[in-house]
Chains A and B, each alone.
Chain A
Amino acid sequence: MATILTVDDTASMRQMISFTLNSVGHEVIQASDGKEALKLLQGKKVDLVIADINMPNMDGITLVKSLREQAEYKFIPILVLTTESQEAKRQQGKVAGATGWIVKPFNPEQLLTIVNKVLG
């Protein structure tokens, strides 16, 4: 099973994601913003990062950029959370190096489908 880092400033969101991913046996690391995410990682191996875009301290776009600069995280899948209307944010994420996006609102089934897709 995979190790997945989830980065979001809203706890309820983090919980939902962790709960869903735990339920199928993935190990989940939680961070509340980009800064904390970078601190937690420190070269630690993860298989997937799921990051919100709007976060205090360090937003998702910056996080993606800094992860892609590190050799360990150069090729791992990174997904950003966006809403239907945030077409521009989605593009910024892509430019920064994100693999893809998950459109909010999503339900657990949709999340698992997408995660399986990138881990597959």
Chain B
Amino acid sequence: MAIDMRQFHQTFFEESLEGLANMETELLHLEKAAANKGQETVAADPEILNTIFRAAHSIKGGSSTFGFEDVVGFAHVLESRLDAMRDGRLTPTRNVISLLLLSVDCLRSLIISARTGKEGDNNAIDSIRKQLENLESEQPSSPPLTVPVLKPPQGTISHWQITFRPHLHLFHTGNDPLRILRELDDLGECRVQVDISSLPGWDQIKPEECYLGWKIELIGPIPRETINEIFSWVVDDCSLEIDRKPMQSLAPRSIAEAVASMDAQAGTLRVSVPKVDALINTVGELVITQTMLSLIASNFSFDNLSRLFAGITQLERNTRELQESVMSIRMLPLSFAFNRLLRMAHDMSQRLGKKVELIFQGEQTEIDKTVIDRLIDPLMHLARNSLDHGIELPAERLAAGKPETGYITLKAYQKGGNVVIEVRDDGRGLSHERIFAKAVERGMVSSSSNLSPEEIAELIFLPGFSTTESVSDLSGRGVGMDVVRNNIRSLGGSVEIATQPGRGTCFTLRLPLTLAILDGLSVQVGDQTYILPLVNIVESVRILPQQVSRPVGSSEMYGLRKEFMPLLRLNELFHVESRSTDFSQGLLVIVEAEGKKAGLYVDDLLDQQQVVIKNLATHYRKVEGISAATILGDGTVAMILDVPGLIRLAHTGTVHATPHAGDSPASSMATPTLN
């Protein structure tokens, strides 16, 4: 029976890339151990060598099972070298480790080629492969290419739906459906439903025939193969459908959607068992509370009032715990992002001739997976900058009375609803004079302006700013600090900088714990409530009517302290009846995104609150100026404003490009299209 192996490919790619990342980390450990002892070689920890070997071995096994020949070939060579290293036939010198690191890159590129079907740089890969083959070991080792056939990856939970309808003659083959059901039950959580639709009338039943059918739901870490095997003897004596049920249907809908809307590429998430246990535990408690409350409700008297309140308090606690549990599923330790920097630091310090050590603190701090994915680039950029511009050459450091080795410290900790990450180096610090001179040269500030050191440091975040005199291929690739700041801001976070000449620089990143919940300010426009993300708000002011101007061919502008910005009337934009068009009755909320400001005219400011983000596009459709929706405490729906979008609208002047009154989002709110 042919099994469609493609269903396992995705898992194979993911676990292979993960294995390679582990391998890389361990190789870097090896090298660090050697460097610390000031030796060229190390007496390596056998456990480390085993871990490295296992990764290559699993990739080889997997790729041969799934028929990725290019990967098999390379992995085989690598595995045999690593095997020699494990047996002590090959000494892990720094050169060998460097070559092995390059091999990791090759293997990664081969796996990515296999995944995407795009060819990688085959020449480079061949050359590394040759070097690997020529690596001298003390005794020749060229084991024949034996390829272990590995079982398909276990451990991923599948939800199977099986429809099993034996043909009438099944008993005549000596098979017994009961036996099959029992075997399925041994595999995992099994729910069986009997189908008696083909059972004939009592007088027509022949006891030797099988009239029953079954619908079976089976949940567990079960590969399709195992299920096929159970049915292998009867597959011609029954009609059989084995389908994998998508897991999403098991997840809570709204959260799954909120998250799906943020995840551009739908990846998979590995969740540790304790987190799942905690979740199940919380749900258990919730059920108990619910039972308790229904008991109180079923014979309610005023004597029970205190018990009812106690129950509601408990329900609140359960809900909060459930929210925390569910959120924690998407949380990953920051070490995922930090570890990616090790390799960059290794390569770059070698090329620059600098001695650098990365120190991680609090890398177990957890943050939303989406945040992690989008944090890697900014972190890379900051660390790369520190290494390139901050940390001095060893001689320079010694002359300045500092230790030869520079330190870049990445420190993470949680503070309130935020995660704070510090990227600190002990290098030369920012040169205020050079930054100021550069900014003047670029025409960003006038040479006569009198700026504080903090204001000068802020200049590096301006678009188009770069102080690199020699633009190296390592940093200063035209991607500036403004991109870093924008990336962090798009995650709802902020970046601050502190520097001391000669002592070093520290970048402080503040990020929200999750993207599924937003800190917002609710504002009133007519009878509608809108939510403004707090990160975008600069200030709120009373409007001075004399500051409103309307230049020819442009929309309304507002002048605030000599700064002019577009003025957007939210009531016009969303076709809502405003409380008053008289400016003195409302307020102007100054918002900022992507370095541009705009003033939003609203009737009133209501409250600052946390809201749960609900995707609008999946329920309604994408609306310009609105990023998502949420449900307020009283059950009404409020739109979350897309501030960058609004500002773009305001600056391009196409303010009225939004839907007409008939199908505006405001009118759709009355119908309960959101769940």
Contacts and interface: CB of A to CB of B under 8 A. Distances in A.
B174 A75 contact: yes
Contacts of A68: 172
Interface string B166-183: 000001111100010011
B202 interface: no
Contact of A117 (B174, B183, B208, B237): B183
A97 B174 contact: yes
Contacts of A75: 171-172, 174, 208
Nearest to A96: B173
Given A68-B172, A75-B174, A99 B233 contact: yes
B179 A94 contact: no
B182 A120 contact: yes
Given A76-B174, A78-B174, A100 B182 contact: no
A100 B175 contact: yes
Nearest to B183: A117
A75 B182 CA distance: 19
Given A75-B174, A77-B174, A99-B174, A120 B179 contact: yes
Contacts of A26: none
B173 A94 contact: yes
B174 A98 contact: yes
A97 B173 contact: yes
Nearest to A119: B179
A97 B171 CA distance: 10
B236 interface: yes
B296 to A, nearest CB: 48
Interface residues of A, number: 16
A99 B236 CA distance: 11
B137 interface: no
B581 interface: no
Interface in A85-107: 91, 94, 97-101
A75 to B, nearest CB: 6
Nearest to A77: B174
Nearest to A67: B174
A10 to B, nearest CB: 24
A94 B171 contact: no
Contact of A97 (B172, B179, B208): B172
B172 A74 contact: yes
Contacts, number: 35
A118 B234 CA distance: 13
Nearest to A49: B174
Interface string A57-86: 000000000001000001111100000000
A100 B233 contact: yes
B294 interface: no
A67 to B, nearest CB: 10
Interface residues of B, number: 13
Contacts of A78: 174
A99 B183 contact: no
B232 interface: yes
Nearest to B173: A99
B633 to A, nearest CB: 57
A76 B182 CA distance: 18
A68 B237 CA distance: 16
A55 to B, nearest CB: 20
Contacts of A97: 172-174
Contacts of B175: 77, 99-100
A98 to B, nearest CB: 7
B179 A100 contact: no
A68 B173 CA distance: 8
A68 B175 CA distance: 13
Contacts of B183: 117
Interface string B231-259: 01100110000000000000000000000
Contacts of A98: 173-174
B273 to A, nearest CB: 28
Interface in A40-54: none
Interface in B198-250: 208, 232-233, 236-237
Contacts of B172: 68, 74-75, 97
Which of B174, B175, B236, B237 neighbours the largest number of chain A CB atoms within 10 Å of its CB? B174
B653 to A, nearest CB: 73
Contacts of B236: 91, 94
A120 B184 CA distance: 13
B482 to A, nearest CB: 64
A72 to B, nearest CB: 13
A85 B172 CA distance: 26
A118 B177 CA distance: 11
Contacts of B232: 100
A98 B236 CA distance: 12
Contacts of A118: 174, 179
A99 B173 CA distance: 5
A91 B233 CA distance: 10
B171 A117 contact: no
Contacts of B233: 94, 99-101
A98 B173 CA distance: 6
Contacts of A94: 173, 233, 236-237
Nearest to B175: A99
A76 B172 CA distance: 8
Contacts of B179: 117-118, 120
Nearest to A78: B174
A118 B237 CA distance: 16
A56 to B, nearest CB: 25
Contacts of B174: 75-78, 97-99, 118
B185 to A, nearest CB: 11
A91 B236 CA distance: 9
B238 to A, nearest CB: 12
Contacts of A101: 233
Given A94-B233, A99-B174, 16 more contacts: A68-B172, A74-B172, A74-B208, A75-B208, A76-B174, A77-B174, A78-B174, A91-B236, A94-B173, A94-B236, A97-B173, A98-B173, A99-B233, A101-B233, A117-B183, A120-B182
Interface of A: 68, 74-78, 91, 94, 97-101, 117-118, 120
27 contacts: A68-B172, A74-B172, A74-B208, A75-B174, A75-B208, A76-B174, A77-B174, A78-B174, A94-B173, A94-B233, A94-B236, A94-B237, A97-B172, A97-B173, A97-B174, A98-B173, A98-B174, A99-B174, A99-B175, A100-B175, A100-B232, A100-B233, A101-B233, A117-B183, A118-B174, A120-B179, A120-B182
Leading 8 A-B pairs by shortest Cβ distance: A100-B233, A99-B174, A77-B174, A99-B175, A99-B173, A78-B174, A75-B171, A76-B174
